[in-house]
Amino acid sequence: MKRAVLPLVTLGLLVMVAADRLSLASGSMTSDPVIQGPSDTRSGTVALDSLGSDGGRSGATSAAPIADVPKTPTLDRLARLAVRQQLSRMAGLTYLDSLIVSTDSVVRRWPDRNGTPLRVSIIEGGPSGYQPRMMGHVREALGLWEGAGLGVRFATVADTLAAEILVRWIDHFDFDRAGQTDLTWDQAGRVRKASILLALRTNTGVVLPDGALLTVAVHEVGHALGLPHSSDSSDVMFPATRIGALSDRDRRTAQLLYQLPTGPVRDLARAP
């Protein structure tokens, strides 16, 4: 039964995607400002056993006000309503329903690329204690999400200026956190850049073992793709995850995210 759900979702979302594209083509988003999101729900802290808990920093910086968007056409409003209804129906199988109650209620992901991979630059070195094998944790994390069936591919590049996702290591954070992802997106919800920081130690100086480094990398790559936190401890996107592998819910959530049109979920015409 569960395998049949996503194909049905795909059919049900065809109208929404078409409406979203018609709205963009009509010029309602002709000048999309770039928005920097330093943490929000898509920047993660991974707590491992006694190594920490979710720092969150939710609300530290807010996105540009959605109220600045021109009046939403009726067709676009219906599409957004359909997205909200679909998120609610899939609540038991995914954790994207958290978008409905988030501060900005925006479906935020990389735009469709027709097979073109996202360019990832992994900066080696940096803090003392870095080992070349640690790059392998990031590569493994990228491979896990690439194989999750959401249609996103990655290609590592040496040129940091050409990279869309930048990964680097630091010794530690000054607060209880092991990783952080910062996203840059436009007002239509299309992610343009992602920057991932991975710590080698906790804020108390405890060296993170390889298993923990991999877990943090998988979690942060999920945020770089646009995924929110999960409330289920069996998912890799749980804020205090101890799991370095993707759960079925992680996969379904990522697949659903990349089937939905980007942009605000709430009804803009009725927003206060």
Q: Which domains does the chain have, with CATH numbers?
A: 2-270 (3.40.390.10)
Whether residue 55 contacts residue 47, with contact meaning beta carbons closer than 8 Å, is answered with: no
The gap between the terminal CA atoms of the chain, to the nearest Å, is 40
pLDDT at residue 261, as a whole number: 84
CA 104 vs. chain centroid, Å, equals 14
Q: pTM higher than 0.85, yes or no?
A: no
- Take residue 75 and report the two structure tokens written for it: 């067709």
pLDDT at residue 260, as a whole number: 86
E strand or H helix at 122:
strand 118-122
Count the Cβ atoms, other than its own, within 10 Å of residue 252.
23
- The partner residues of 190 in beta bridges, in order of sequence, read 109
Whether residue 187 contacts residue 32, with contact meaning beta carbons closer than 8 Å, is answered with: yes
Whether residue 108 contacts residue 183, with contact meaning beta carbons closer than 8 Å, is answered with: yes
pLDDT at residue 90, as a whole number: 64
pLDDT at residue 82, as a whole number: 64
Residue-by-residue pLDDT tens, the chain, 272 positions: 444 444 444 444 444 444 444 333 333 322 234 444 433 333 333 443 333 333 333 222 334 333 344 445 665 666 666 666 666 666 677 888 777 666 578 889 999 999 999 999 999 999 999 999 999 999 999 999 999 999 999 999 999 999 999 999 999 999 999 999 999 999 889 999 999 999 999 999 999 999 999 999 999 999 999 999 998 999 999 998 888 999 999 999 999 899 888 888 776 444 44
Residue for token pair 């990349």 = 258
pLDDT at residue 83, as a whole number: 64
Q: What distances in angstroms separate CA 215 from CA 10, 95, 111, 143, 203, one per listed residue?
A: 30, 19, 26, 13, 17
Say how far apart CA 34 and CA 141 lie, in whole Å: 27
- Take residue 233 and report the two structure tokens written for it: 């401890």
pLDDT at residue 181, as a whole number: 96
pLDDT at residue 81, as a whole number: 65
- Take residue 3 and report the two structure tokens written for it: 């395998």
Strands 263-264 and 106-107, bridge-based pairing: antiparallel
C-alpha angle with apex 9: 7 to 12, nearest 5 degrees?
115
